[in-house]
Chains A and B, each alone.
Chain A
Amino acid sequence: EVQVVESGGDLVQPGGSLRLSCAASEIDFSNSWMSWVRQAAGGGLEWVAHINHRGNEKYYVDSVKGRFTISRDNGKESLYLQMNSLKVEDTAVYFCARGHYGLDSWGQGTLVTVSS
């Protein structure tokens, strides 16, 4: 059964850091591009970053460039998002999803709240 499970969301102060994880199974992880997408409360979807199957191609939305880092461990079938210098506007549910051309196999998301 396909499973994508995000974790690591928490309440953090502005300027703080957080590392999100995404554990995947049955999705051919090591051969798949993987993405992070976020959704603010009551809002729409915003693509954050994606990474190729080898981990040597990474792309980010401008608003997180220089602050967020996407990475992966194919041996552990896991995706990560290191978030530094967090801002109030980063508050959202963060989803992990497989894909480069269209996104399938989404997780349920993990909530990141940035507030003092």
Chain B
Amino acid sequence: DIVMTQSPDSLAVSLGERATINCKSSQSVLNSPDNKNYLAWYQQKPGQPLKVLFYWASTRGSGVPDRFSASGSGADFTLTISSLHAEDVAVYYCHQYYATPRTFGQGTKVEIK
């Protein structure tokens, strides 16, 4: 199974400041034939359905604000919130869909400092 490891487990950031979440996979999720990274990022807020932020590692999901960006390739990926808003308080998960079983990172909790 591909193990997804996120860091940090939690972080507290001041409003307007940058938040960066890292995700490492135990093996590459880059598919050579199509040159796509089979990785997605999700946001989970209490009482709300999970929301896909990015898929194919850096393709923004519908309605995702520009302050969110995602990058990386192979086995190392990053989700960045350039300027934290109060509504960004949530748990963020990376997810690989390169192989079955699909696996998720353990989650990173983002809070306001």
Chain A contacts to B: CB under 8 angstroms: 4, 35, 44-47, 50, 59-62, 95, 97, 100-108
Q: Are B103 and A4 in contact (CB under 8 A)?
A: no
Chain A residues contacting B86 (CB-CB under 8 Å) are none
Mostly, the A contact residues are strand
Question: Most chain-A Cβ atoms within 10 A of its Cβ — which of B61, B95, B102, B107?
Answer: B102
User: Whose C-beta in chain A lies nearest to the C-beta of B106?
Assistant: A44
CB pairs A–B below 8 angstroms (28 shown)? A44-B105, A44-B107, A45-B50, A45-B93, A45-B95, A46-B104, A47-B101, A47-B102, A47-B104, A59-B101, A60-B101, A61-B101, A62-B101, A95-B50, A97-B50, A101-B38, A101-B97, A102-B56, A103-B40, A103-B42, A103-B52, A103-B95, A104-B52, A105-B49, A106-B49, A107-B49, A108-B47, A108-B48
